[in-house]
């Protein structure tokens, strides 16, 4: 993926810069999520614009399902929202 632009977006109450990449199919993809950003054509990219393996291969080495992996982005966004609401908030260590 070629990064073609940078845009300002609001994430968890804060203005952040995100990249816009050009998918192999020619469509633009805003790289909003840390782990998975999906183009309309079905290709998945990480936040750096690297093409991810097909979803059928996800979790082969870890035993996770694609839905669990996709859920991690929601957890990351929720943590960012909590941090924005309370700058002193820290994630609990396990």
Give tens-digit pLDDT for 48-87: 999 998 888 877 777 877 777 777 666 656 665 655 565 5
**91 within a domain of the structure (yes/no):** no
Average predicted confidence (pLDDT) for the chain: 79
Q: What is the mean pLDDT of residues 6-26?
A: 87
pLDDT classification of 29: cutoffs 50, 70, 90:
very high
**92 within a domain of the structure (yes/no):** no
**65 within a domain of the structure (yes/no):** yes
**40 within a domain of the structure (yes/no):** yes
**64 within a domain of the structure (yes/no):** yes
**16 within a domain of the structure (yes/no):** yes
Tell me which residue range forms the domain holding 34. Answer: 2-85
Higher-pLDDT residue of 82, 40: 40
State how many domains the chain has.
Answer: 1
Q: Are strands 28-31 and 14-22 parallel, antiparallel or unpaired?
A: antiparallel
List, in order, residues 6 or more apart from 78 with CB less than 8 Å away: none
**pLDDT > 60? residue 91:** no
In sequence order, what are the beta bridge partners of 17? 8
**94 within a domain of the structure (yes/no):** no
**90 within a domain of the structure (yes/no):** no
């Amino acid at each position: 993926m070629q990064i073609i632009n940078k845009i300002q977006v609001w994430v968890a109450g804060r203005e952040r810069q995100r990249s816009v990449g050009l998918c192999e199919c020619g469509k633009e993809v805003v790289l909003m999520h840390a782990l998975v950003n999906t183009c309309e054509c079905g290709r998945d990219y990480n936040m750096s614009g690297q093409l991810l393996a097909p979803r059928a291969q996800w979790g082969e080495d870890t035993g996770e399902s694609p839905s669990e992996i996709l859920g991690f982005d929601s957890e990351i966004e929720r943590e960012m929202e909590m941090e924005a609401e309370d700058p002193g908030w820290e994630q609990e260590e396990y």
